[in-house]
Amino acid sequence: DGGITQSPKYLFRKEGQNVTLSCEQNLNHDAMYWYRQDPGQGLRLIYYSQIVNDFQKGDIAEGYSVSREKKESFPLTVTSAQKNPTAFYLCASGLAGEETQYFGPGTRLLVL
Partner 1 sequence: GQQVMQIPQYQHVQEGEDFTTYCNSSTTLSNIQWYKQRPGGHPVFLIQLVKSGEVKKQKRLTFQFGEAKKNSSLHITATQTTDVGTYFCAAEGGTSYGKLTFGQGTILTVHP
User: Could you list the residues that contact partner 1 (CB under 8 A)?
Assistant: 31, 33, 35, 40-45, 48, 50, 56, 58-59, 90, 92, 94, 96-106
Shortest spacing between CB 18 and partner 1, in angstroms: 24
- 52 residue type, one letter: V
**DSSP E strands, 52-103:** 54-57, 64-66, 76-78, 87-94, 102-103
Shortest spacing between CB 19 and partner 1, in angstroms: 20
Shortest spacing between CB 74 and partner 1, in angstroms: 14
Give yes or no for a contact between 102 and 92, defined as CB atoms under 8 angstroms apart: yes
CB closer to partner 1, 4 vs 78: 4
Shortest spacing between CB 16 and partner 1, in angstroms: 29
CB closer to partner 1, 58 vs 75: 58
CB closer to partner 1, 6 vs 82: 6
Give the number of other Cβ atoms within 10 Å of residue 79's Cβ: 15
Q: Long-range contacts of range 80-84, CB-CB < 8 Å, 24 or more positions apart?
A: 80/15, 80/16, 80/17, 80/18
CB closer to partner 1, 96 vs 112: 96
